[in-house]
Amino acid sequence: MGNSDQCWRGIPSDACRGPIRSEGRDVPMKKTYRIVLAAICAFALAAAFGMAGCSSENKPAEEPSGDEPSDVQDHEAVELQIFAANSLSKAMEEVQNLYLEDHGWVSFADTQYEASGTLNEMLGAGSSADILITASKATMDTAVEEGYVDAGTRFDLFTNELVIVAGENSELSNVTLADMASGDYTVAVGDANVPAGNYAKQALSTTDPACWVSADGAIGRESAGKEGTFEGTPLEGKVTEGSSVGNVCSYANSGDVDLAMVYSSDVYRFGGVKIVGTVPADTHKNIVYPAALCADSENAEAAQEFLDWLFSDEDAIKIWQEWGFELAA
C-alpha cells in the first residue's frame, strides 16, 4: 500500500507528514516557528534593555535648577523698614536701589520719610522699624532716652550745612544773618519738629537785635531751638513755619516769602530755590545725622550690614555727595 493510501485510510504514519529539513534533521513546522519567534522576542527584549541601560548610564545627572543666583539662595529673605529724616529721601532711594543690585535677598518696606520729631512720635505710638536716621543729635537723644533705639549701635552718619535760600527767580543775593535782622524780609523756617528749623532759630537768636528768643533765654548753640518766640523781634509777623523742609522750600519757591533757611542738600532735593547766603556754623549746633538700630528690630544683623555698607561703599558715597551730604568724620 502506498503512502497516499495509508493517509487516506486514517492510518497514522510519519509518511503523512511532510518532512522539513533543518540542518540535517527533520523538525516539525510548528515547533520550528515557536523556536524562531522566541529567539526574535528574546533578542528584541535584550536590545531594548541594553538601549535603556545605555541611555540611563550616558544621561548626565540632572542638577537642581533655579533662577536665583547662588548668593541669593544662600541667604534668608529679609525686608528692612527704615525711618529716615525727610531730607534724606531722594538720596536714600538711589542708595537702596544700588544696594539691591548685589543683595537680592534684601527688600525694603515703604521707607518712612518724615521730620525727625515726627519719626520719634511714630515709634512712640507703636510703629516698628529696623533703622532710625534723624537729622539732629537732639532727636536721636530723645530716641535713646525713650528706648526706641539700641544706644550701643548709634553713630553719626552724615553732616550738612545750613543755608539761606530764595526763589530761583529772586534778585536777592549775598544775604547774611545781619540782613535778616533788619526786618526787611519775610522768612520761612521749619517748626519745632523739623531739625533744620531748630538750627535756624538757634542762629537767629544770635543776631543783634535777636530775631528769635528762646523760652529759657539760651542763645545759639546753647539753645534747643524749639521753645521760643519771634514776638518783639524784627521778624515779628514775618515768619512762616513749615512742617517739613519741603514746605519751607516751597514757600520760597512760590514767592510767599522772600527767604528761607534750610539744609544745602534740600536745594538739590527740591529745586526751585537757590542759595543766597550761608549761615555761620558757630551760630548753631553741629548739624549731624545720627543713625541707630531700633530696639525692637527683628532683623538687626541685616540692618547693621546695610548701615555698614552705607558709609563704606564707594558708589554709595558718591550718591550721598551728589545730594549734598558728607560722611561724618
Q: Which amino acid is at 276?
A: V
Helix, strand and coil content of the chain, in percent to the nearest 5, comes to 40, 20, 40
CA–CA distances in Å: residue 122 to residues 115, 138, 206: 11, 16, 33
Q: Indicate whether this model's pTM tops 0.85.
A: no
Q: Given a cut of 60, is residue 328 above it in pLDDT?
A: yes
What local confidence, expressed as pLDDT, does residue 65 receive? 46
Residue with cell 548753631: 284
Write out pLDDT tens, residues 270-325: 889 999 999 999 999 999 999 999 999 999 999 999 999 999 999 999 999 999 99
Higher pLDDT, 60 or 218: 218
Q: Given a cut of 80, is residue 205 above it in pLDDT?
A: yes
Higher pLDDT, 55 or 69: 69
Virtual CA dihedral for 246, 91, 293, 189, nearest 10 degrees?
Answer: -20
Write out pLDDT tens, residues 122-173: 999 999 999 999 999 999 999 999 999 999 999 999 999 999 999 999 999 9
DSSP string of 193-246, one letter each residue: T-HHHHHHHHHHTTSSS-SSEETT---GGGS-SSSEE-TTSTTTT-EEEESSHH
Rounded Cα distance between 142 and 244, Å, is: 19
CA angle at 289 for the pair 217 and 283, rounded to the nearest 5°? 35
Query: In a 3-state reduction of DSSP, which class is residue 232?
Result: coil
The verdict on domain 80-159+289-327 having CATH code 3.40.440.10 is no
Rounded Cα distance between 319 and 125, Å, is: 33
CATH 3.40.190.10 residue ranges in the chain? 80-159+289-327, 162-283
Would you call the peptide bond into 209 cis, given omega within 30 degrees of 0 as the criterion?
yes
Hey, what's the cell of 182?
533788619
Q: Is the CB of residue 276 less than 8 Å from the CB of residue 166? A: yes
What local confidence, expressed as pLDDT, does residue 71 receive? 55
Query: In a 3-state reduction of DSSP, which class is residue 312?
Result: coil
Residue among 223, 216, 218 at smallest CA distance from 197:
223
Q: Which amino acid is at 115?
A: A
Higher pLDDT, 3 or 264: 264
Q: Which helix (H) or strand (E) holds 162?
A: strand 162-167
Rounded Cα distance between 108 and 100, Å, is: 9
Pairing of strands 213-214, 228-229: antiparallel
Rounded Cα distance between 26 and 34, Å, is: 15
From the DSSP assignment, how many helices (H) and strands (E) are in the chain? 12, 17
The verdict on domain 162-283 having CATH code 3.40.190.10 is yes
Write out pLDDT tens, residues 72-115: 667 899 999 999 998 899 999 999 999 999 999 999 999 999 99
Hey, what's the cell of 102?
548685589
What local confidence, expressed as pLDDT, does residue 163 receive? 97
Fill in the DSSP letter of residue 65: P
Rounded Cα distance between 136 and 122, Å, is: 17
Residue among 113, 195, 121 at smallest CA distance from 160:
195
Write out pLDDT tens, residues 15-52: 444 443 444 444 444 444 454 445 554 555 454 444 44
Write out pLDDT tens, residues 226-264: 999 999 999 999 999 999 999 999 999 999 999 999 999
